[in-house]
Amino acid sequence: CPLANRIPDWLQAVARGDTAGAAAILAETSALPEVCGTLCPQHRLCEGACTRDGTREGLKNGAVTIGALEKWVGAAALDLPLPARAQPNGKRVAVIGAGPAGLACAERLVREGVAVAVYDRNATAGGLLATGVPPFKLDKDRLARRIERLKAMGVKLELGVTVDAERFGELLDAHDAVFLGTGAQRSRPAQLHGSTLTGVHDALDYLAAVNAGTASPLTGNRVLVLGGGDSAMDCARSVRRLGAAVSVATRGDFRASPKEIEAAREEGVELLAQHVPRSLLGSAAVEGVRFDSPGTSRDLPADRVILALGQVPAPPAWLAAHGVMLDESGRIVVDGQGRTTHPKLYAGGDNTRGPDLVVTAM
Ligand code: SF4
């Protein structure tokens, strides 16, 4: 577990029927257990590492369903009293970005007695949990309750606020430290002829519309999603729910979690591996995609195309003025403790690692 959750300990508490005890153990290491229990690719993390995973002699009955149990304990914990907090210690920290990294950081700090204010340009807290993960995959009411609990613990949320160079300077002056949890929310450029045609959508924009309830019905439409990761599956499954026939095409093999691939397949999504997109077809509106697939070239028709080709970090331009070092791919350089090259600035999550999992951001 990237969070070092004490898995055997809280599982034993669950087995004893001690839900509050299990929740308390989980709360030592995780700010969002029900989210991780839902979204983590457990097959390559905790459950993949379980000693009952079937590879050891005499233990061939499979891993414990850690994710499902964690989701359940996390949900039950929303009804329990708030965790203990230290007395205020006079320190003040601003957190920029209310996604998993920012919220996890704020939760740790407020429990240590630090006064924390979290800034986010969106009107809703949660980052991609709110705008990127489709509602059928993550219980948004529970997410809202979790965020309410953070507020009740003393985390101040400043939502709908864009932190520009001037405001950043003010925050830096007014706080003992600033944490940058700005994520990696810029889509990787498509570099495909025709990607500006009408009917071509960016995956993050599309998922934001799905979450806002503004994505239009697609009954009778044919949609192609380009990409092979979890976001591509999220788009495809969303589009299915809006009534379209949908295919997902990726240039190599699918990178998405097996559980996401299986869910997409069960819902009738066509999966096309080894399909290298060459260009989008159409004059004003998109009409299809030309692919190279092994030994041949094929055109597939589409009324809409969604580009889910991954994300890249997009750190604010004004960071450079404060001497914050970035690496060649635009990630903020930090040491093992999350310190940037500026003494008051810390960073964590996708802006330092590149696009990764919710659990690693936390
Ligand atoms: Fe497994 Fe994720 Fe929970 Fe860690 S946080 S125990 S990896 S489900």
Three-state helix/strand/coil letters over the chain: CCCCCCHHHHHHHHHCCCHHHHHHHHHHHCCCHHHHHHHCCHHHCHHHHCCCCCCCCCCCCCCCCHHHHHHHHHHHHCCCCCCCCCCCCCCEEEEECCCHHHHHHHHHHHHCCCEEEEEECCCCCCCHHHHCCCCCCCCHHHHHHHHHHHHHCCCEEEECCCCCHHHHHHHHHHCCEEEECCCCCEECCCCCECCCCECEEEHHHHHHHHHHCCCCCCCCCEEEEECCCHHHHHHHHHHHHCCCEEEEECCCCCCCCHHHHHHHHHCCCEEECCCEEEEEECCCECCEEEEEECCEEEEEECCEEEECCCEECCCCHHHHHHCCCECCCCCECCCCCCECCCCCEEECCHHHHCCCCHHHHC
User: Which residue lies with its CA nearest to atom 7 of ligand 1?
Assistant: 1
Is the beta carbon of 223 within 6 A of some atom in ligand 1?
no
Q: Are 287 and 279 in contact (CB under 8 A)?
A: no
pLDDT at 163 over 70: yes
Residue 359 C-alpha to ligand 1 middle, in angstroms? 7
User: Which residue lies with its CA nearest to atom 6 of ligand 1?
Assistant: 1
Question: What's the mean pLDDT in 75-85?
Answer: 94
pLDDT at 300 over 90: yes
Is the beta carbon of 25 within 6 A of some atom in ligand 1?
no
pLDDT of residue 314: 83
pLDDT at 137 over 90: yes
Q: Which residue has the higher pLDDT, 60 or 102?
A: 102
pLDDT band (50, 70, 90) for residue 296: confident
What tokens does 259 get?
A: 């559980």
pLDDT at 334 over 90: yes
pLDDT tens, position by position, 251-287:
999 999 998 999 999 999 999 999 999 999 999 999 9
pLDDT at 42 over 80: yes
pLDDT band (50, 70, 90) for residue 294: confident
Question: What's the mean pLDDT in 100-119?
Answer: 98
Residue 210 C-alpha to ligand 1 middle, in angstroms? 27
Question: What's the mean pLDDT in 277-299?
Answer: 92
Question: What's the mean pLDDT in 151-170?
Answer: 96
pLDDT at 55 over 70: no
pLDDT at 211 over 80: yes
Residue 148 C-alpha to ligand 1 middle, in angstroms? 23
Mean pLDDT score of the chain: 94
Distance CA 362, CA 357 (A): 9
pLDDT tens, position by position, 347-358:
999 999 999 999
Residue 334 C-alpha to ligand 1 middle, in angstroms? 24
Residue 12 C-alpha to ligand 1 middle, in angstroms? 16
Nearest by Cα to 282 from 261, 265, 304 = 304
Measured in whole angstroms, the distance separating CA 293 from the mean position of its chain's CA atoms is: 31
Percent of the chain, pLDDT > 70? 98
Is the beta carbon of 74 within 6 A of some atom in ligand 1?
no
Q: Which of 10, 43, 45 to mutate to test ligand 1, by most ligand atoms within 8 A of the CB atom?
A: 45
pLDDT band (50, 70, 90) for residue 62: confident
Is the beta carbon of 143 within 6 A of some atom in ligand 1?
no
